[in-house]
Amino acid sequence: MVRLDKKATRLYVLDTNVLIHDPAAIYQFEEHDVVIPMTVLEELDKHKNGIREIARTARQVSRTLSDLTSQVTFAEIQQGIPIPGSIGPTGRLRFLCYQDLLPLDNMEDSPDNRLLAETCRLRDERPDASVILVTKDINLRVKASALKVPVEDYLNDRVFSDRDAMIEGAKVYARAGQHGAELWASLNVEVKVERQDDHTFYHLKGDMPDDWHVGMLVSDSENGAEFEAVVREVGPHSACLQLLTNYRHHAGVWGVHAHDSRQNFTLNLLMDPEIDLVTIAGNAGTGKTFMTLAAGFQQTLDTKLFERIVFTRAPIPMGEDIGFLPGTEEEKMSPWMGAFHDNMDNLLRDEHDGSSSWNDGATRQLLGSRVQIRSPGFMRGRTLNDTFLIIDEAQNFTPKQLKALVSRAGRNTKIVCLGNVGQIDTPYLTANTCGMAAVVERFRDWPHAGHITLQSVERSRLALAAEELL
């Protein structure tokens, strides 16, 4: 928040929310010392009880601290416990305990104010070092800055910096005369075309673009493209592209057709048996859930590639919580599944008379045997085999929570994560720290994963005006 002139010796004072957000935070400061005040230990003790995620994390932090202190003497604890590190010099873990701590003037007694007082006293006692408070609490950072206390946000959890953005998963070369150079005119490469098992591959040799990565779309236009391919292999001087199936006209997916290159690429990722993880980002109305459900029905009910579809999402309200919900697991999740039911109604609608077979009892019973709505809170410990798993609103999961869901994949399971990092309702998560961003960045070079950011195609005048004016 405030630019600091840091000295060679640094003491990083960690707030409780940093340890809750990243239980391994004490290992992320390299050769510098980490300080945990007694106020933070008391806050961890308050959070440890219960079965919520915050309680599990607090217990994990406590176990880590217990392991570090169990093999040392009291004198070594006073001098600082060496923090184990894999490479290079590491700092020491210190505990801050003042029995005669005086509160700050004109400030009430609260955990945040005690933490500020402890940091101020440590700063006065160590003029030879830079004492820096690390917290994810924005208000506490503002208060610390006003009191001239060096303070920083915890940045190690960020998948990318604020200056960057999540990858789009596509590289579109507009045709000459429109928005830029044509694809082949912009690439100085030799091309060899090969046909294998009903698939066409383009083997390129030459200087490859730096922004190409495995699993991305390469197209010569957003709409009406003549060349659309996915990058299967890429290196500094070679690449292999595979032509996409055209789902725009006759070859639809459960009656759904693509409108542009990005939607066509999405359907290819969803229907490709070699792709195990698909992440789809985009604003509301871009067809994320619609195309995903269509691909799920096609591969579950028609081709029998999967036995069931499991649909889950983070039950995070946009406004005030509506409170306790009675009923079974599916009945409790039903209020959160508005997008699911809306898209089901559209997929099963008759184009001629406008009626929907989703309202028919037999259709509901058939789909009910193959489509399951599950709460993410009951996924831990499960292994999903022969399953098409859809994780909606993935941007509202933390990286740890989304890891727990993705790791549920068993034999013959495909996972699709849907989300919009511009609409995050979970506190303390941002566009570069949420689980959606973490999954996209970590799997960007895995050959069995694919990502695409969709753009608005068919939006109502009201929806477009709301985004521009509100």
Domain assignment present for 217: yes
Helix H, strand E, coil C: the string for 135-192 is CCCHHHHHHHHHCCCCEECCCCCCCCCCCCCCCCCEEECCCCCCCCCCHHHHCCEEEE
Whole-number pLDDT of residue 66: 92
The answer to whether residue 382 sits within a structural domain is yes
Instruction: Show the tokens assigned to 83.
Output: 């923090």
| Separation CA 196–CA 232 (nearest Å) | 14
Residues 146 and 185 in one domain: no
Tell me if 3 is assigned to some domain: no
pLDDT at residue 160, rounded to an integer: 54
**10 Å Cβ neighbour count for 308?**
16
* 130, 197: one domain: no
CB within 8 Å of 421: residues ≥ 6 apart: 166, 281, 395, 431, 434, 436, 437
Alpha-helical segments (H) within 252-287: 261-271
**Residue 279 near residue 438, CB atoms below 8 Å:** no
Residue where a domain terminates, one of 152, 184, 205: 152
Average pLDDT, 10 consecutive residues per value, the chain (470 residues): 71 93 88 93 91 85 92 88 75 89 82 92 90 92 90 77 72 62 80 92 93 92 86 94 90 88 95 96 88 93 92 67 54 59 67 56 66 81 92 90 92 95 82 90 93 76 60
- Do 145 and 176 have their domain in common? no
Q: Alpha carbon of 71 to those of 33, 59, 65, 83: distances in Å?
A: 19, 19, 11, 12
Q: Quick check: 34 and 93 in contact, CB under 8 A?
A: yes
Burial label for 93, CB within 10 Å (0-12, 13-18, 19+), is buried
Q: How far is CA 443 from the centre of its chain?
A: 11
Residue 336 sits in which domain range? 170-469
pLDDT at site 320: 45
Same domain, 108 and 209: no
351/400 same-domain check: yes
Are 197 and 138 part of one and the same domain? no
Is residue 102 a part of any domain in this protein? yes
- Same domain as 84, residue 179: no
Whether residues 101 and 181 fall in one domain: no
Tell me the C-alpha distance between 423 and 431, whole Å: 9
Nearest one of 158, 123, 153 to 139, comparing CA atoms: 153
What is the rounded distance in angstroms from the CA atom of residue 45 to the CA atom of residue 239?
A: 54
Domain with residue 224: its CATH number is 3.40.50.300
Category of 50 on φ-ψ map: left (φ > 0), alpha (ψ -120 to 50) or beta: left
Q: Are residues 445 and 383 in the same domain?
A: yes
234, 348: one domain:
yes
Contact 396, 425 (CB under 8 A): yes
Nearest Cα neighbor of 114 from 75, 143, 86 is 143
Residues 77 and 133 grouped into a single domain: yes
Q: How many domains does the chain have?
A: 2
**Cross-strand pairs, 218:** 171, 229
Q: What distances in angstroms separate CA 20 from CA 2, 5, 82, 346, 431, one per listed residue? A: 24, 28, 22, 42, 19
Q: How far is it, in rounded angstroms, from Cα 138 to Cα 267? A: 41
Q: What is the DSSP letter of 349?
A: B
Q: Are residue 200 and residue 291 in the same domain, yes or no?
A: yes
Task: Check which CATH number belongs to the domain holding 21 and give it.
Answer: 3.40.50.1010
Residue 160 domain flag: no
In a domain, 456, yes or no: yes
pLDDT of residue 179: 45
In a domain, 182, yes or no: yes
162 within domain boundaries: no
